[in-house]
Amino acid sequence: MLKEENTLAHLLDRPLTIGNRTITNRLVLAPMTGLGHVAFRQLLDELGGCGLLFSEMCSAARIPHENRTNSAYFRWRDEEADHLVLQLLGPDPERMVAAARRVESEGLFGVDINLGCAVREICKFNQGAALLKEPQAAAAMVRQVRRAVRCPLLVKFRTGWQDDPRLPVELARRLEDAGADALTFHPRVAPDVRTRPARWEYIGLVKAAVTIPVFGNGDVFDAEDCLKMLQTTGCDGVALGRIAIARPWVFNQWTQATPAPPINYLDMALRLLDLVQIHFDPIRALRRFKMYSAYLAANFSFGNTLHNRIRNAVDIQGMREALAAFFQGGPQELKRPNMNLMR
C-alpha cells in the first residue's frame, strides 16, 4: 500500500460528531441526482467503508406526501437509515420544515438542505443555489428547520454567484449561527457547472470560520487528492461525488488500513444491474443504469464504446451483453477517469 494511503486511512477512519449523532468515518457520499439512489447506496454498503450517505435531492414540497415503498427518491433500506442523510430542495421555509419533520420521524440520520444546485430549471424557482443570492433568507430557512427538528441538520452550499471568498465565509458563519450541525462546501461559483477547478483554498477559509464540522467537496479523484484536500484545508471530512460512482470501492480503499481486495469492474457493474432491478420499475432501472454507465466507462480507454452500447440498449439483457462484450476485450484501465464522461 502507498504511504499516503496509510496516512489517509489514519485521517479518515475516525469518528466525527455531527449534532447529536456520530459517524464512524469521515469519507462520505455526496448527494447526486440519478446516481446516489437506493440501489447504488446498497452497492456502496456492500463494498464497505462509507461514513455517511447523502440521498439524491428530494423536493421538500413532496416529501410529506411520499410513500417510501413506491417513491423513486424518498426510498431507503432499513439497514442504511442510521447513516443516510436525506437532502431537501425547495424555496419555501414552511414546506422545508414539514419535510424535515417527516425525515426525522422516519428515523434517518439527518436532513441536508440544498443551497448548491445551480441547474437553471431548479434556480428559476428560487431554490438550490438561487437561495445564495439572499444569504439572510437562506439562514432564516435553516433556523426555522433547526427549531423544528432535533436530528442532525446539514447544509450543502457552494461559493455563491461571484468568485469572492468572503461570500462562503460569511454564509458559513450565518449557517452555523442558524443552527446547522455540519456543512458540505463545494467551492465553485453558481454558474460554473464543474468546468473550472474547484478552489480548495476557499474550503480552508470556510473551515477556519466555523466550529461545526466541514466536509470539503470537489475534484477529488484519487487518494493523493483526498489527502491533499484534508491536509491543505483542514476540513473535517471529504464528500466524494463523481469518483464515488466511477470507483465505489474507494471508500473502503482509502479509509481502511487493510483494505479489502480490489473489486472486478464487471462483477460490480453486474451487481448494480441486479440491484436497480430489485429497487426500481423496469423503465427507471434502465434509465439509472444508463446514467451510471458513463461513470463506469470513464475508467477505460475507449470507454465511450461501452457507454454508447449501454445507452442504446433497450433492455437489461442488452446491457448484460454490452458489458460482457466490452470486458471480454480486456479494456485498458485509465489511471484517472476520463472527465469527458463524468460531467
Ligand X SMILES: Cc1cc2nc3c(=O)[nH]c(=O)nc-3n(C[C@H](O)[C@H](O)[C@H](O)COP(=O)(O)O)c2cc1C
Active site residues: 117
218 Ramachandran zone, left/alpha/beta (phi>0; psi -120 to 50): left
The minimum distance between CB 18 and ligand X, in angstroms, equals 17
Nearest to 292 by CA among 96, 37, 102: 37
**Of residues 300-339, which lie at the interface with ligand X (CB under 6 A)?**
none
**Of 108, 117, 183, 190, the one binding ligand X by CB under 6 A:** 117
Distances (CA, A) of 282 to 43, 110, 194, 220, 273: 19, 30, 31, 33, 11
Binding track, positions 10-39, relative to ligand X; x by CB under 6 A? --------------------xxxxxx----
A 10 A CB-CB count for 54 gives: 26
Told to check if 217 binds ligand X by CB under 6 A, we report yes
The minimum distance between CB 112 and ligand X, in angstroms, equals 8
Cα distance between residue 16 and residue 25, in whole Å: 7
Binding track, positions 247-286, relative to ligand X; x by CB under 6 A? ----------------------------------------
The minimum distance between CB 225 and ligand X, in angstroms, equals 9
Binding track, positions 185-214, relative to ligand X; x by CB under 6 A? -x----------------------------
Number of residues that bind ligand X (CB under 6 A): 22
Nearer to ligand X by Cβ, of 122 and 286: the residue is 122
Nearer to ligand X by Cβ, of 146 and 188: the residue is 188
Residue 137 DSSP label: H
Nearer to ligand X by Cβ, of 117 and 149: the residue is 117
Nearer to ligand X by Cβ, of 156 and 309: the residue is 156
**Of 23, 27, 44, 57, the one binding ligand X by CB under 6 A:** 57
Nearest to 296 by CA among 308, 286, 312, 281: 308
Told to check if 146 binds ligand X by CB under 6 A, we report no
Told to check if 132 binds ligand X by CB under 6 A, we report no
Q: Report the DSSP pairing between strands 153-160 and 110-115.
A: parallel
Nearer to ligand X by Cβ, of 97 and 183: the residue is 183
330 Ramachandran zone, left/alpha/beta (phi>0; psi -120 to 50): left
E-state strands within 211-339: 214-217, 237-240
A 10 A CB-CB count for 202 gives: 25
**Of residues 221-250, which lie at the interface with ligand X (CB under 6 A)?**
240-243
Helix runs in 128-236, H state only: 135-148, 166-178, 200-209, 223-233
Positions touching ligand X (CB under 6 A) are: 30-35, 56-57, 87, 114, 116-117, 156, 186, 217-220, 240-243
